Structure 1
Amino acid sequence: MSRLPQLPFARSDVLEISFEFAELRDSEPITKVLTETGDEAWLVSGYDEIRQVFADHRFGRSHPTPESAPRLSNNALIGGPNGDHATEHVVHDRMRRLLAPAFSARRMRALSGRVEEIVTGLLDRMAEEGPPCDLHARLSVPLPIQVICELLGVPYEDRDRFRAIAEEMTDLSDPARSAAARDEMSEYTYTIVKGKREEPGEDVYSDLATADLPENEIARIAGALLFAGHETTVNQIDYGVLLLLRDPEQREALRRDPSLVPGAVEEIMRTAAPSQHGLVRYAHEDVEIAGVTIRAGELVMLATFAANRDGRVYADPDRFDVSREMLHAHVGFGYASHYCLGASLARVELRSVFCALFQRFPALRPAVPYERLKPRTDRLTGGFRTLPVTW
């Protein structure tokens, strides 16, 4: 009996996905693998197949027996089951109805002026301090942190505190450590939410303060919003910059023609893969997808980063092309009822960065060869700890 492929798969290039993901996607877009914890899972890596799972209500994040459920990793945040099996879909739908207005495309466009102002200030400081600099620390981290603080109503002066908690939440080695950090984030943010009941503001936490949800759900949502609202965007900025620095022709095309920026942002979201952890789903009943039967309770790993390079959907899928005509929307923000609420916010931030960065610093280049950058393989969201650049 042949042994199943064992995760995690090694990467030979920090800007490419592992060869094994591409090989399995092209031959078996739904196939069995062994996870990092030794459990069996269905790896879904095809574009059409992933969209089917996202859109099918028979899949969820919860499991009827979470203690014995198969796991993707030892991370407490998204390495295994999450939520109450009996109420997951009801709570999810209620949460989306509550938060959708706050993250609407219209409100995010209204925020774009403020985001541009923050970007300009950060680039001014880079210019004043001169090269070389760590772009990760000077731009990629502070921008989404300041934006999400203002949007949610979190004190910006607490940024070092919650950033440290977020770092612990992404730990892949010790489930107790990431679970403790997740609980600490929920407790910290829920304290802020409760304060909004006495002193509400024009922010998302004030909306949460009056939500018709159980208190533990409000705490969980508040913590998740702060974590997700900055952590993933940090990495997309880093990877977008690297993709453009690696390809001077693409970078120059973007600098000459700012109208390419919106498409470039979508191409960054399609191509960049800071993490290869994948998303967790469990079948809540027997489901057949693309001729494969997934049994109730079985674990599914959604490899969106592999689906975004599916040659059945994208021509020359591994090529980064800021002028690409995107006939099919990438799944970097999910799909259907599981489409990321913060997608419009991420787009506003990324567009502001890539409209301004290379205009301000046309000679920007890596201070070290990108091949020498060490990705954070011990962290859920991957990415880098530093991104040295000069100009």
Structure 2
Amino acid sequence: MTSAVQLPFEQPCPFQAAPLLRELQTAGPVHRIRTAVGAEAWLVTGYEHVRRLLDDDRLGRSHPEPANAARTGESALFGGPLGDFETEHADHARMRSLMQPHFAPKRMRALRPRVEALTAGLLDELAEHGSPADLNEALALPLPIAVICELLGVPYEDRAQFRAWTQAAADVQDRARSERGLYDLFTYGQELVARKRREPGDDVISRLSTAEGIGDDEAAGMAMSLLFAGHETTVVAIGMGAVQLLTNPAQWQALLADPTRIGRAVEEILRTEGLGGGGIPRYARSDLEIAGVSVRAGELVLLDTGAANHDGSVFPDPDRFDVGRHDAGHMTFGHGAHYCIGAPLARLELEAAFSQLIPRFPTMRLAVPVEELVLNTRTLTGGLLGIPVTW
């Protein structure tokens, strides 16, 4: 296919890949497309190409002429270019060096008992509430929020407020709403940083606020980036993972019979949660070639990790959900210099959620046909608007 195709692709079922995307993947690894706002871009769907390009410094998030750059959508967060074109790589390296220690393996191991206790408490409340219930509201949403609040030092009682701001900031359809949400979130971060400077505690924001060489605004920006990324994507992963297991009862029973398979199941949940049809936005910093296709400097390139995670040349029978899968690693957390620093935390939360949910509610099932579940198409992270369950 040489003509540009339009995003988003038509997806008849929320848990099945868009037929056109699979058709494109069969045709080759890179394709000319138009984004949801009509901008021309390149969509890369092949596993090996996405993996290599994720760690290619000829691509970046910035653009030399931001006002003229192609956009993926109206989100102020990821709809267009971010950062300074001249200093992007150095800025990114510095940011990672400041944030990565807070997610070191030792810290995550120390956090595990608390995550498990929070999970148990939420499941106690679910049992007390009784059947039927919304698993999204009972577990997928509150667990990541509670964990990130404790880790960062954000008051849990503010959760409804900052959740509304993060959802607004992630709006891919309304630029004004997205910009307002981002502003409100940053203002909240400034208030938290000021408070932590006066009364520091044993939390990430306190450590960022009192670290040498970090100004108030930078600390607030990093803190709110962690707050957004630290709960939004995990909410989606828990919800989508639960539905994958509930619609594949043999897989649910396999984990009930052998809890040692939870770790592998989490990786399969992470692999399959995104079906593709979008991708991580990057701008070409120079002319380059991708799979024989010439990409010009400044053009938008979408690295579709969801499609790559369903590349049949790497993952046999890629659309099959299998908690016993032994395949190449997925790229849900990215690759190389941009690999997600929060990956250990997300894995910890997913393991806690499913290692307790399944034995605690062995007969749980969806209370509605899977076709009736509704995806949130308005926000960057997506996810389900509700997961009605019974047991």
Same fold (TM over 0.5): yes
The equivalent of 1:220 in structure 2 is 221
Give the counterpart letter for 1:95 in structure 2.
Answer: M
Aligned to 1:243: 244
Q: Residue by residue, what CA displacement relative to the aligned partner does 1:294-314 show, whole Å, maximum 9, x if unpaired? A: 211000111111000101111
Structure 1 residues 183 and 274: alpha-carbon distance in aligned structure 2, compared to 1, 3 A threshold: farther
C-alpha separation in 2, matches of 1:49 and 1:371:
33
Relative to the length of structure 1, the TM-score reads 0.96
CA distance in 2, matches of 1:186, 1:15: 34
Aligned residue in 1 for 2:85? 85
1:182 and 2:197 matched:
no
> Do the aligned partners of residues 53 and 161 (structure 1) sit closer, same or farther apart at CA in structure 2, a change above 3 Å counting?
same
Work out the CA distance in 2 between the residues paired with 1:190 and 1:301. Answer: 32
- 3-state SS of paired residue (1:77): coil
Q: Please name the residue that 1:369 is paired with.
A: 369
Aligned to 1:39: 39
Q: Determine the C-alpha separation between the residues in 1 that align with 2:79 and 2:336.
A: 22
Pick closer, same or farther for the CA change 1:137–1:229 going to 2, 3 Å: same
Amino acid at match of 2:250: E
Give the CA deviation at 1:288.
Answer: 2.2
- Asked whether 1:163 is paired with 2:163, we answer yes
Answer whether contact 1:170 1:379 (CA < 8 A) is retained: yes
- What is aligned with 1:342? 342
In structure 1, what residue type is equivalent to 2:42? W
Question: Paired residue for 1:265?
Answer: 266
Cα pair 2:241 2:269 within 8 Å, conserved? yes
Q: Which amino acid aligns with 1:38?
A: G
How many Å separate the matches in 2 of 1:112 and 1:23? 42
- Residues 240 and 384, structure 2, Cα contact 8 Å, conserved in 1: no
Q: Contact (CA 8 Å) 1:190, 1:222: kept in 2 or not? A: no
Deviation at 1:173, TM superposition (A): 1.4
Q: Cα–Cα, structure 1 residues 35 and 211, in superposed 2: closer, same or farther, change >3 Å?
A: farther
Q: CA deviation at 1:274?
A: 7.5
Q: Does 1:383 align with 2:383?
A: yes
Q: Conserved in 1, the CA contact under 8 Å of 2:275 and 2:306?
A: no
1:309 aligns with 2:310: yes
CA distance in 2, matches of 1:108, 1:329: 21
Gap regions ≥5 residues in structure 2: none
Aligned residue in 2 for 1:230: 231
Residues 203-214 of structure 1 mapped to structure 2, 5 A cutoff: 203-209=203-209, 210=211, 212-213=213-214
Gaps of 5+ in 1: none
Partner amino acid, structure 1, of 2:121 = G
Distance 2:147 2:227 in 1: 11
For 1:243, the aligned partner's letter is: Q
Contact 2:31 2:42 (8 Å CA) reproduced: yes
Deviates more, 1:69-78 or 1:2-11: 2-11
Q: 2:89 is matched by which residue type in structure 1?
A: H
SS in 2 for 1:31: strand
- Residue 198 of structure 2 aligns to a residue in which SS? coil
State, as a whole percentage, how many aligned pairs show the same letter.
Answer: 50
- The range that moved more, 202-211 or 295-304, is 202-211
Bigger shift: residues 226-235 or 165-174: 165-174
Task: Give the structure-2-normalised TM-score.
Answer: 0.96
Q: 1: distance between equivalents of 2:339 and 2:65?
A: 27
Number of paired residues?
Answer: 390
1:29 Cα deviation after fit: 0.8
Deviation (angstroms), 1:89:
1.2
Once residues 57 and 153 of structure 2 are traced to their aligned partners in structure 1, the CA distance between those partners, rounded to angstroms, is 33
Query: What secondary structure does 1:197 align onto?
Result: helix
Alpha-carbon distance in 2 for matches of 1:144, 1:85: 33
CA contact (8 A) 1:236 1:274 kept: no
